Amino acid sequence: MKLDILAIAAHPDDVELTCGGTLLKMAQRGYKTGILDLTAGEMGTRGTPETRAKEAARAGKILRVSWRGSIGVPDSDVQPSRQHKLALAQEIRELRPHTVILPYWEARHPDHYHASELGYEGCFLAGLKQLPLDGEPFRPFKILYCTSFEGMPPSFVVDISAQYATRRRAILCYGSQFRPAKSERKQRVYLAIDELDSKMDLLARHWGDKIGVKYGEPFLQKELQQVDDVVKLPVRSI
Ligand SMILES: [Zn+2]
C-alpha cells in the first residue's frame, strides 16, 4: 500500500469534521487517501463501538478513502506513549503516505492535542532504522495540521465548495453521536445534529469566504510555502 494522503485523528468523525472535503477532493483527483482513527471512539456518550465502526466505514466509503483503520488506542486516554508511537510508526511504514494530516496541536479535548503529538512522533519514529519495527524505514514528506474549531491561524484554505454536500453526508453518518435516542430527546444533547450541521456550515462558509469561494477547509503547515510563479497566485486582492 502506498497512500498519497493519510489523515490521522483521535476519534472516528474527527476527520470528517475537519478535513473530509479535502480528502474527497484529493480522491476525486485520483490520489489514494486514507483515514487512521487512533481510537475506536468507545468512550463516546452514545453508540456502541460496533455502531461507531459501522458509521466510520460508511463515512469513509462516502469520502472514497482507499483505506481506513485504527490502532486501538484507548479512547479518552490518547497519549504519546512509546507503545502507541511504535504502533503508529508501524502503520506509517506499511501505508507509506506522502502527506499526513494531523489535528492542530491546541485543542479543548486532551485526546485531540495528544493525537497531534502522537501523530508527529509516530511519523518521526517510522523513519528510524534501529527500532523494533517491520518493514523499511519511511517518513512522510509533508505534515499538515487541520481544525475546524480552534483559533488556528491557517497557512492556506482548500476550496471544498464542490465537495461540501458529500462531506455533509459523511458527517451525518455518525447519527449515533448526534441524534439522541427517543428516551433522551428531552435532555440537553451536547451537540445535536441540527446544531452541529449549522455550525459546520458556518465554519466552512467562513473559510470559503476568506478565499472568495462558498466553502473552505483551513490547514496549517509549519514550513514556509514556496512559490515559483507569482503571476498565477490564486485569491483576488482587490
Ligand atoms: Zn474527537
Convert the pLDDT of each residue in 188-207 to its tens digit: 555 677 888 899 999 999 99
Residue 54 contacts residue 25 (beta carbons within 8 Å)? no
CA-CA distances (angstroms) from residue 157 to 85, 131, 146, 179, 185?
29, 37, 10, 30, 37
Return residues with CB closer than 5 A to ligand 1 (ion): 10-11, 14
Give the bridge partners for 157, in sequence order: 218
Ligand 1 centroid to 9 CA: how many Å? 7
Residue 134 neighbours by CB under 8 Å, 6+ apart:
90, 93
Distance 135 CA to ligand 1 centre (A): 30
Distance 106 CA to ligand 1 centre (A): 13
pLDDT score recorded for residue 188: 56
Distance CA 120, CA 83 (A): 14
Contact 115, 37 (CB under 8 A): no
- For residue 96, how many other CB atoms are within 10 A of its CB? 17
In this prediction, residue 125 carries a pLDDT of: 97
Task: Give the residues of the chain that fall short of pLDDT 70.
Answer: 43-47, 150, 177-191
DSSP-based helix, strand, coil % in the chain, nearest 5: 40, 15, 45
Query: How many A from CA of 15 to the centre of ligand 1?
Result: 8
pLDDT for the residue numbered 181: 62
Residue type, 75: D
What's the rounded Cα separation, in Å, for the pair 84 and 97?
18
Q: How close is the Cα of 11 to the center of ligand 1, in Å?
A: 5
Contact 89, 101 (CB under 8 A): no
How confident is the model at residue 51, as a pLDDT? 84
Instruction: Write down the pLDDT at residue 135.
Output: 95
CA of 159 from ligand 1 middle (Å) equals: 23
Q: What is the pLDDT of residue 76?
A: 87
- Give CA–CA dist 175/189, Å, rounded: 13
Tell me how crowded residue 234 is: count the other CB atoms within 10 A of its CB.
9
What distance in angstroms lies between residue 109's CA and the mean position of ligand 1's atoms? 7
Residue located via cell numbers 452514545: 46
Tell me, what's the pLDDT at 192?
A: 75
What distance in angstroms lies between residue 70's CA and the mean position of ligand 1's atoms?
Answer: 14
- The per-residue pLDDT for range 141-184, each reduced to its tens digit, is 999 999 877 678 899 999 999 999 999 999 999 877 666 666 66
Residue pair 36/8 in contact (Cβ under 8 Å)? The answer is yes
